[in-house]
Structure 1
Amino acid sequence: MNSLTLRIRNKSGATMVSNAFIDEYMSDANGEFVKVYLYLLRCVSHNKQLSISVIADKFNHTETDVIRALKYWEKMKLLKLTYTNDILTEITFVDHSNTEESKPVNEEHEVNVVQASVFAAAEISASNTQPEKERKQIPAYSADQIKQFQENSDIKQILFVTEAYLGKTLSVTDINTLLFFYDELHFSLDLIEYLIEYCVSKGSKSMHYIKKTALAWAEEEITTVSQAKASTNLYNKNCNTIFNAFGIKNHRPVEFEVNYINKWTNEYAFTLDIIHSACTRTLKQAHQPSFEYADKILTEWHNKGVKHINDITLLDQEHKKVKACDKPKEVNIGKNKFNNFNQRSYDYQQLEKELLNIK
Structure 2
Amino acid sequence: MNFRKERIKDYYLRDTSVENIFINEYMTDAPGDYVKVYLFALMYADFDMLMSNDTIAKHLSMADEDVLKAWSYWESKGVIRKNYEKAGDKFRYQVEFINLKELVYGQKVKEKKAEGKIPSHLKEQMDNDVIRNMYSEIERIIGRLFEGKEPAEILSWITDYNATPEMVIYAYSYCVKKKNRSNHKYVAAVVKEWVNQGLKTLEQIEDYLEETDNRHYLYKRVLRALGFMRNATEEEKRIMDVWFDEMGFGIDKVLDACKKTSGISNPNINYINSILKAWSGGDKKTVKADSSGKPNQIANILKYYEELRAENETRAEARRTEVYQKIPRVKEIEEEARGIGLQISRIMLSGAGDAKNKIRDMKVKVDRLNEEKAFLMTENNFKIDYMDMVYTCPLCKDTGIQDTGERCSCFVDKLSDMQKMD
TM-score by length of 1: 0.46
More helix by share: 2
TM-score by length of 2: 0.41
Structure with the larger RCO, 1 or 2 (CA within 8 Å, 6+ apart)? 1
